[in-house]
Amino acid sequence: MNFKEGEILYFNKPLGWTSFKVVGHVRYHICRRMGVKKLKVGHAGTLDPLATGVMIVCTGKATKRIEEFQYHTKEYVADIRLGATTPSFDLEHEIDATYPTEHITRELVEETLQHFKGEIQQVPPAFSACMVNGKRAYDLARKGKEVDLKPKLLVIDEIELLQCNLPDIRVRVVCSKGTYIRALARDIGVALGSGAHLTALQRTRVGNVRLEDCLDPLAFRDWIDRQEVETGDEAAEGNE
């Protein structure tokens, strides 16, 4: 494997890890194996720390393909709790309001979900990496400042109810780049005349890459030590 020329790796991001931590972990073990001090490594599509699943990591010259991978269709499985909201629309923050759920039925949920299929306008979460006047929205939100984010046009290709144990539901979503599933959970709650927040999220596919194609970052050291890897000197010779 020639990580300097460029390799594309697929990982199943663990719960609690940031996307940045995955990249740092991968870079460290590749550099250790190659005997080099630095290597360009990047990921194609951030996952929140509380989300798990498919993450594409590119090395060396393959980092030029990151934008290409970001535009691939993504599939998620989301667990949503109805009847309560949080400031971040997930479990990062405590519940800040509760709402009635007695009127919600499985039939109402299935009917409501279909309204989100196709092109939709979505306002990103305040606790997100979106830029507002040159600053990250989450930095402003954490300081208690007002965050004014504009709606974005997105495409939901598929949305399906997998489980319904009210007030908890599980949905499968196939969507375009830039979709915040946390914000989708918020909007589903509003559409149901209640509130909602995300309790778990797994990205199950990016393009044709599925969970079964992914490496476990915790096992990456053992995996890379078994591979034939061009070292720093060999990689440099190959570029001459």
Residue 180: exposed, middle, or buried by beta-carbon count in 10 A (0-12, 13-18, 19+)? buried
Residue 185: exposed, middle, or buried by beta-carbon count in 10 A (0-12, 13-18, 19+)? buried
Strand (E) positions, the chain? 8-13, 41-43, 51-59, 74-82, 84-85, 97-98, 118-122, 131-132, 135-136, 152-165, 168-175, 196-206, 209-210
Kindly state the DSSP code that residue 210 receives in the 8-state scheme: E
CB-based burial, 43-77: b 16+ in 10 Å, e otherwise:
bbbebbbbbbbbbbbbbbebbeebeebbebebbbb
Residues belonging to the active site: 48
Confirm if 44 and 94 have CB atoms less than 8 A apart.
no
Which residue blocks in the chain are alpha helix, DSSP H?
19-34, 66-70, 106-114, 137-142, 181-191, 220-225, 232-238
